[in-house]
Amino acid sequence: MEVAELVEDLKGRLRTLRSKVFPQQVLLELHDTRMVGQGLHRGQAGPLSVDLPLPAKTCKAGMPLETEALADAIGELMLRENFMEAHVMAALPPEAVHWRVLDWEGAPAAEEAIVTLRAMDPDLGFPFPLSEATIDIQPLPEARNKLLLAATSRQVVEGWIEVFDQAGLNLDRLAPPQSCRLAALRDQLAAVPPQVLVLVIAPEETRGRPFMAIRAGIPLFERVLVEKGDRLVAEIQRCVTFLRKEFAGVQELRLLLEGPMEERTMLEATLGQPIRELVVQPFGSLVMAGLAIPERLP
């Protein structure tokens, strides 16, 4: 073997060793028409280098319909970005995930709670039974005896697992975006008094802007805002009016904006209070920041 070949062989072995000792990770947000993401190495977030429009009609309501086309598109991009050896942590498309806050006296550990819920199979108004769902349970540290349940059709989860498998990628985690967003906000929410209602307005997606109301660390309400301009401001004002009536004891609103919003000045004037823009850098979004937080053990 020539010296040059020996050097290249040694470099290859070192790359393999480094990838095992310090594995590269990639954080992805999945949507019906788009995938965005960034690398994560030794806990340090890289630039937002993944922004891939997905082929038309390959995904609907979070369900991958064309596995091969999606796998080809994602695999080619990961190859270009040098992420083929990375361990992927992805947030499921938000429209595929349904959630509820459960009141559970003496709430058990997550795994035990999942087994119990599957056996009971309560009707939570989801478009699928819990017995046929992939379930994520997270404790809500700010509230005793409350759990955040996020559920997705098992068919959707298995579909995305197949997509990443065909793309030749190492999929480590598929997570509910709502749980990721809350995880990223946890430290800030812990300092908010219980009489304050926190409203989080996320960046615009294909279907609109996610809007979540949180009180005492507990998510109360979520919807997608589909309007723009003054109609968007009016839509938010209607949500605020509803929330004030629905949840007694709210004395103050705190609005948090995840990213720029053209209607910000108009909304501040309408609601009569300032809006604080969240700092999510170096992450591309709150969802990706939450994905980067190690999963809590039950």
The verdict on residue 195 lying in a domain is: yes
* Region 212-241 average pLDDT: 92
The verdict on residue 211 lying in a domain is: yes
How many separate domains does the chain show?
1
Please tell me the predicted confidence (pLDDT) of residue 143.
Answer: 73
Indicate whether 176 pLDDT > 50: yes
Please tell me the predicted confidence (pLDDT) of residue 111.
Answer: 86
Q: What percent of the chain has pLDDT over 70?
A: 91
Strand ranges across the sheet with 196-201? 218-225, 209-215, 196-201, 252-257, 275-277
Domain that holds residue 270: 185-278
The verdict on residue 202 lying in a domain is: yes
Confidence of residue 8 (pLDDT cuts 50, 70, 90): low
Indicate whether 2 pLDDT > 90: no
User: pLDDT tens digits for 68-126?
Assistant: 999 999 999 999 999 999 999 999 999 999 999 998 887 778 888 899 999 899 899 99
User: What CATH number has the domain bearing residue 264?
Assistant: 3.30.420.40
The verdict on residue 263 lying in a domain is: yes
The verdict on residue 266 lying in a domain is: yes
| Helix, strand, coil distribution of the chain in percent, nearest 5 | 35, 30, 35
Are the C-beta atoms of residues 258 and 285 closer than 8 Å to each other?
yes
Indicate whether 19 pLDDT > 80: no
The verdict on residue 232 lying in a domain is: yes
Are the C-beta atoms of residues 182 and 254 closer than 8 Å to each other?
no
The verdict on residue 227 lying in a domain is: yes
Lowest mean pLDDT among 13-17, 64-68, 86-90, 247-251: 13-17
Distance of CA 167 to the CA centre of its chain: 21
Confidence of residue 17 (pLDDT cuts 50, 70, 90): very low
Please tell me the predicted confidence (pLDDT) of residue 259.
Answer: 86
